[in-house]
Chain A
């Protein structure tokens, strides 16, 4: 069973609207959680990283939250743009440095 579950699997949003992606994990012991953006045919690019003590982290129009007690994270995209169309991957690192990847949420922003 995957230790990192993401939802929804995919979503379509209108340009300018906001959306929130979810990530639940069971990875333990926990080191950090990252959100990556992966454009089609490209490698993942890091958006945010949060450790156990951090609740929120922003990077431009991207805001990630982390609840280490419930082992949940979210990525909020504000005022979406066409260039936000991509797969967003939640990656949790354990204390030994091993990465556990979520399956990703495919976001499509339409005009």
Chain B
């Protein structure tokens, strides 16, 4: 159990376009999901905390109007990178925390590689 999926796994887009990444908890409900960004040879950096039915909480320095997060159900959160630029190219990873019975453990998705040309 505790499987988290992401879609797409890879995406290449032109500068100025918007890209949506989905994060799903497949076999459990997740009131809280997290979005991370990882640059090459660096560790994961938390971008925002996504709470089902309410606004996301963004970390300092992360533009909420650029990285739109929607957590419309207990199994799905989406991250939309708006007006993408080459510097947004990165590996985006989501994680999900069980609504109940899982303590604080976060289960990570497989990641989405975004390349902005």
B43, B45, B93: the one contacting A43 at CB < 8 Å is B93
Q: What is the distance, in angstroms, from A66's C-beta to the closest C-beta of chain B?
A: 17
Stretch from B14-22, B62-70, B82-90, B108-116 forming part of the interface with A: B108-116
Given A41-B91, A41-B111, A43-B93, are A101 and B43 neighbors across the interface (CB < 8 Å)?
Answer: yes
Given A102-B43, A103-B42, A103-B43, are A42 and B110 neighbors across the interface (CB < 8 Å)?
Answer: yes
A32, A43, A46, A99: the one contacting B110 at CB < 8 Å is A43
Q: Are A49 and B105 in contact (CB under 8 A)?
A: yes
- B residues lining the A interface (CB < 8 Å): 4, 6, 41-46, 91, 93, 95, 97, 104-106, 108-111, 113
Interface contacts (Cβ under 8 Å), in number, total 37
**Chain B hits for A44, CB < 8 A:** 44, 93, 108
Q: Are B108 and A45 in contact (CB under 8 A)?
A: yes
Query: Chain B residue with minimal CB distance to A94?
Result: B104
Q: What is the distance, in angstroms, from A58's C-beta to the closest C-beta of chain B?
A: 18
Known: A42-B110, A99-B46, A101-B43. 12 other contacts (CB 8 A): A43-B6, A43-B93, A43-B95, A43-B109, A44-B44, A44-B93, A46-B105, A49-B105, A89-B43, A89-B44, A97-B97, A103-B42
Q: What is the distance, in angstroms, from B76's C-beta to the closest C-beta of chain A?
A: 17
Q: Are B111 and A43 in contact (CB under 8 A)?
A: yes
**Chain A hits for B109, CB < 8 A:** 43
Q: What is the distance, in angstroms, from B69's C-beta to the closest C-beta of chain A?
A: 18
How far is B6's CA from A77's CA once the two chains are assembled, in angstroms? 29
